[in-house]
């Protein structure tokens, strides 16, 4: 489990396409020494298994499902990515519960400074994302969402486009400062919202079955 608090950024060194899969190589002098073979690590919000460890880099295999559902297959050498290690049990949750299981990709519409004259280190930013239909039911204003692994709060929501406020630290400490409009980003809806909606649907289904059974019996 992750919390969406990015530890550092890494750099893509290679994406080797294979039959139905791929192998990713990520450079991170900060986190590579802390990894053990088989450890989990989130790369742009995708939970991967660290393999082939080296002093400043790690490798990770990407399954066909990962390539189809996330942006990882698009990553070019030199691209910055957000990295996070799993949260140890008993650690305070600074963000929200993030599984590293991406639901779908969204499209970056804009990343605009609130005060263009203040400079990147002194202004907040408005990030706007077009959300695909598969994720829309789980988005609510003031709810949580992970965007490329970053735990963010939905500030505005119109049913298809969300906006979040980005503070200067998040803008500079993550890969957000490298993105341009049109970029695809990984979206993971809040798992608690997913569970709540699934429970609601199950209850509605049970109520419908009960009503239908009563009608069938002539009540």
Angstrom distance (rounded) from CA 197 to CA 187: 18
Share of the chain above pLDDT 70, in %: 93
| Class (C level, CATH) for 8-84 | mainly beta
Token pair, residue 219, equals 């009540």
pLDDT tens for residues 74-125? 999 999 999 999 998 878 778 899 999 999 999 999 999 999 999 888 999 9
pTM: 0.90
Q: What is the pLDDT of residue 189?
A: 96
Q: Give the pLDDT of residue 193.
A: 86
Are the C-beta atoms of residues 111 and 120 closer than 8 Å to each other? no
Residues with a catalytic annotation lie at: 2, 40, 47, 49, 63, 101, 153
Question: Is the model's pLDDT at 214 over the cut of 90?
Answer: no
pLDDT tens digits along 170-213: 999 999 999 999 999 999 999 988 888 887 777 776 766 565 66
At 204 the pLDDT is 72
Domain ranges of the chain: 8-84, 104-190
Contact 183, 106 (CB under 8 A): no
CATH number of 104-190: 2.40.30.20
* Mean pLDDT computed over 15-40: 94
Question: pLDDT band at 217, cuts 50/70/90?
Answer: low
Compute the chain's Rg from CA coordinates. Answer: 20
Percent of the chain clearing pLDDT 90 (strictly above): 77
């Amino acid at each position: 489990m992750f919390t969406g608090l990015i530890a550092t950024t890494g750099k893509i060194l290679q994406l080797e396409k294979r039959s139905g899969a791929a192998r990713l190589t990520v450079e991170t002098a900060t986190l590579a020494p802390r990894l053990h073979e088989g450890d989990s690590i989130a790369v742009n919000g995708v939970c991967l298994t660290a393999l082939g460890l080296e002093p400043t880099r790690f490798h990770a295999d990407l399954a066909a499902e990962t390539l189809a559902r996330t942006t990882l297959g698009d990553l070019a050498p030199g691209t910055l990515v957000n990295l996070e290690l799993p949260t140890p049990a008993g650690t305070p949750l600074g963000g929200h519960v993030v599984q590293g299981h991406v639901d779908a990709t969204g499209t970056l519409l804009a990343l605009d400074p609130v005060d263009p004259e203040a400079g990147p280190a002194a202004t907040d930013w408005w990030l706007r994302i077009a959300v695909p239909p598969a994720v829309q039911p789980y988005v609510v204003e003031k709810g949580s969402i992970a965007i490329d692994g970053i735990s963010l709060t939905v500030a505005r929501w119109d049913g298809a486009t969300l906006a979040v406020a980005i503070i200067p630290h998040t803008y500079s400490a993550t890969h957000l400062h490298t993105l341009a409009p049109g970029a695809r980003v990984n979206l993971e809806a809040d798992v608690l919202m997913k569970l709540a909606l699934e429970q609601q649907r199950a209850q509605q289904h049970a109520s419908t079955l009960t009503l239908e059974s009563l009608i069938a019996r002539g009540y």
